Copies of this chain bind each other. A is one copy, B any other.
Amino acid sequence: MSASLPRALAAEAVGTALLVATVVGSGVMAERLAGGNGALALLGNTLATGAMLVVLILMFSPLSGAHFNPAVSLVFALRRELPTRRLAPYVAVQIAGAVAGALLAHAMFELPILQASTNVRTGAAQWLSEFVATFGLVGAILCTLRARASAVAYVAGLYISAAYWFTASTSFANPAVTVARSLTDTFSGIQPGNVAAFVAAQVVGAVAALVFFAWLLAGGGEQSHCTRLKRPSERNSKVPAAAAASHFSVDER
């Protein structure tokens, strides 16, 4: 038990670093190769980010919960699923790891290590996008954890892949990643002056999701919905609850 907090923090730091190295690095690679076509650049950036997110959550969730995201850690702390005293160290190493990941990407691509973004991302539509992106991410995590915990890694990766395209801000949805992306003047950057408002929108979105999905998922014990499926044959079967939970038909409650 004594070794556990250092290991959890190491997992959060290394995971967030690899996540940001992927976001920034694949943005550089994609922009270099895309010949000016923004859709192609975003496609490469999306593919790499979504894939890496699945990998990192599968790797690190048994060690630290695989948050890599202060907004997610905040939600779990508020739900008392992360001990409150762990919140500050989690957020600290997430930010430190994220910044290290951006610098690592610069080193791999022979760019100046220290940069500041000049990419303007501001305005109400951008903030709405970040609110929606983070609301959906937190909701996806909470719902999936409840019914099909083994699918969370895939859900998070697929959600972010979609959100890169359906929100106008390309879905940062993560305060630590937002801070780190202010330190790269490449495809995925955000001007430092625009960071605070993005982070605020993300936190508001995360807390709104916490409240809404707490109501939506209320009304039973763990995986309660999974045990209310219509057919008796399934209710008593030995099929894991997680498998049964995706059943389309529901009974009247």
Contacts and interface: CB of A to CB of B under 8 A. Distances in A.
Interface of A: 1, 3-5, 7-8, 10-11, 18, 21-22, 24-26, 29-30, 32-52, 54-55, 57-67, 72, 76, 79, 81-83, 86, 104-105, 107-110, 123, 125, 128-129, 132, 136, 139-141, 143-155, 157-159, 161-162, 164-168, 215-219, 221-223, 225-226, 230-231, 233-234, 237-253
B245 A61 contact: yes
Contact of A243 (B3, B4, B150): B150
B33 A83 contact: no
A210 to B, nearest CB: 14
Contacts of A149: 234, 239, 243-244, 246-248
A240 B60 CA distance: 18
Contacts of A136: 18
Given A55-B162, A59-B144, A108 B132 contact: yes
B242 A150 contact: yes
A140 B59 contact: yes
Contacts of A66: 246, 248
B244 A222 contact: no
A167 B132 CA distance: 31
Q: Which residue, of A57, A64, A144, A149, has the highest number of chain B Cβ atoms within 10 A?
A: A149
Nearest to A106: B125
Contact of A5 (B79, B239, B243, B253): B253
Given A43-B43, A157-B158, 5 more contacts: A25-B165, A42-B44, A47-B161, A58-B144, A63-B143
Contact of A141 (B33, B239, B248): B248
Contacts of A40: 37, 39-40, 43
A47 B165 CA distance: 9
